[in-house]
Amino acid sequence: MDIRYRITGGSPLQGEVHISGSKNAALPLIAASLLADGETVLTNVPRLRDTEMMLQILEYLGAETTFQDGTVRIRANNIRSRAIPGEFSSKLRASIVLLGPLLSRFGVVEMAYPGGDVIGKRPVHAHIIALEQMGAEDASNEHMLHLQGTLHAGHVILPEFSVTATENAIMAAALIPGETRIDLAAAEPHVQEVARMVQKMGAEVEGIGTHTLIIRGRKDLKPTTHAVPFDYLEAGTMAVASLVTRGKVRLHGVDYEPLLSFLDTIKRYGGVWKFDPAERTLFVDGELSFMNAMQVRTSIHPGFPTDLQAPIGVVMTQAKGVSRLFERLYEGRLGYLYELEKMGAHVEILNAHQALIIGPTPLRGRMVASNDLRAGTAMVLAALCAEGETTVNDVRYIERGYDRLEEKLTALGATMEKIEVEDARP
C-alpha cells in the first residue's frame, strides 16, 4: 500500500503548535536502557515507526516494554545478546546504536547490516574502528556485523565526526570501569543527550557538547528516568512552513541553542522571528519576512544541520536572487531538487554536493516522490506554497521521523489529507 499526502497549496499557515520529542535522541536513549537492569523510564517520546521498531528489537532481545502517552518503560533484566535479523535492522538504520551497549554488556553483538534512508553511503567502519580501539574483535562477514571481546577503557579516536559512532562509544565506555577518552566526537544535541543519560545512570562524563569526551564508566549502572528533548529538526521544518507560506506560526516547547545556526541563517537573509526563552516559544513571521538569496553550507554541529538542508532548499526557491547550496556531509541529499524542478523551481545542480537555486519562482502542484525522510518533508513544504494540488508519494519515509505531521499542519490551516493507494509494484 502506497501512503500519500494530497496537498492544496496557497494558504498561509496560522496558529500554534507544540514540537514533539526528538526521534534522533529517543532512539539511542532507548538503546542506552540496555546498560542497566531494572526499569528505565523515558518521557516525551514521539510515537513513530522508528521508535516502535526499536522497541520491537528490544523485546526480541528479551526486554519488557510499554509505550503510553509519550512515556516508554523498559525493563532490561532478562535481555540477552542474540543475532538481530534483517527483518528488524534493515528497516531501521538507527539499530546500529545497539552495538555499543550490547557488546559492552555481553561481550558479543551480531546483527544484519542496518538499512534506512538512501541518502548516500553511511558505512559502519566508524563504529567498528571505535569499538576495536576499546578491545573488540571484528568477525563480521558480508551478511552480518559481528563484534566480540571484553572491552577496556582507553583512548578512542573516531575516524570522522559520526553521530551514531560517538553514541555507541559513549554507551560502551559508560559500562567499562576506568577512564575512556573519545576524540573527534560528534557534538549534536542528541549525542549530548546520550552523554547526559549515562551520567544520570552513574557514569562520569566530561566535555559534553565538545569534540572531546572523558567518560569514567562503572559496571553497576542504574536505571533512570530521562526526558527526550524537543525535536529541533521538526521545529526548523515548521519555521520553514511559516516562511514559505507567508504565515505566522508560534512553536512551543523549543530551545534556542540547537537551532542557533539555522535561526541565524534565516535572520541573516530576511527572515523575521522572535524567541522567548522564558516561555520556550519561537514565533516565526513569514508575512513580514522577505527572503534574499542565501549561501548555506551544511556542517557538523554547531554548523547548519544537514537534516534541514532540504527544507532550506525550498526557502531558496522563494528567495530573491541566486542562492548557493553546499551539502558537505552526504553525496545523495540533493536528489529532491529534481522533484522541485518538476514543480517549476529553477535549479542548477553543479555536482553531487553543490547546487544553485534561482528565485523567486512560483511552484505548481505536481505528483512528486518522497525519496527519503528529509526530502519527502521538503516536498510537503513545497506543496504548501505551490499553486494547485500536489501529491507526495510514499510518505512512510516522512512518518518515520515526524510525529503527526499531517495533523499539525492541518491544525495550522493547511489543506492536506492522507490517502492510501494500492501499490502496483511487484
Strand order in the sheet with 225-227: 64-68, 71-75, 39-43, 225-227
Residue 320 contacts residue 360 (beta carbons within 8 Å): yes
Among 117, 307, 372, 403, the one annotated catalytic:
117
CA-closest candidate to residue 384, choices 17, 10, 6: 10
| Helix ranges (DSSP H) in 273-395 | 309-317, 336-342, 373-385
Q: Cα separation of 218 and 201, whole Å?
A: 10
Instruction: Classify strands 39-43 and 225-227 as parallel, antiparallel or unpaired.
Output: parallel
Q: From residue 358, how far is each of 25, 223, 246, 291, 295 by CA, in Å?
A: 35, 52, 19, 12, 12
Strands (E) across 207-268 are located at 212-217, 225-227, 248-252
Among residues 372, 387, 425, 380, which one has the least CA distance to residue 407? 380
* 23-32 vs 189-200: helix crossing angle, rounded to 10: 30
- Is 281 exposed, middle or buried, given 0-12, 13-18 or 19+ CB atoms closer than 10 A? middle
Residue count of the chain, please give it. 426
Angstrom CA distances, 280 to 193, 242, 257, stand at 18, 18, 11
37 is catalytic: no
140: left (phi over 0), alpha (psi -120 to 50) or beta: beta
Backbone dihedral angles phi then psi of residue 105, each to the nearest 5 degrees: -85, -35
Amino acid making up residue 64: E
Active site residues per annotation: 117
